Amino acid sequence: MDDACAQLLGDLVPGTDCAYYYRCLHYQPERADKAFWAMLSEWRKNWNGWSGRMKELRRRQHLLPFEWEPEET
C-alpha cells in the first residue's frame, strides 16, 4: 500500500460504513482474501446483516478469480 492510500484509509473513522467499505475495496486488488473476508465478517457483525454495499463487495470478490486466473476457473 502506498503512503497516500494508507493516509486516506487511516483518516476514515473506524467502525463506519465507509471505513469498512474502503478497506474491503482496498484488499480486493491486493488479493488479500483472508483480510477481505475477515473485514467483511466484522462489518456484517457490527451492522447486523447484509447491506447493499456488503453484497456488492461479496459478489465482486467471488468474480475476481475469473479475471485473475481465467484458465483455472
The domain total for the chain is 1
Residue 57 lies inside a defined structural domain of this protein:
yes
Residues 6+ apart with CB under 8 A from 38: none
Ordered mean pLDDT values, 10 residues apiece, the chain (73 residues) = 73 89 92 95 92 95 80 65
Residue 41 lies inside a defined structural domain of this protein:
yes
pLDDT score at 66: 79
> CA–CA distance from 8 to each of 5, 28, 30, 52 (Å)?
5, 17, 16, 23
pLDDT score at 1: 55
> CA–CA distance from 53 to each of 22, 42, 65, 73 (Å)?
10, 14, 20, 25
Residue 42 and residue 11: Cα distance in Å, rounded? 19
Residue 73 lies inside a defined structural domain of this protein:
no
* Residue 45 grid cell: 457483525
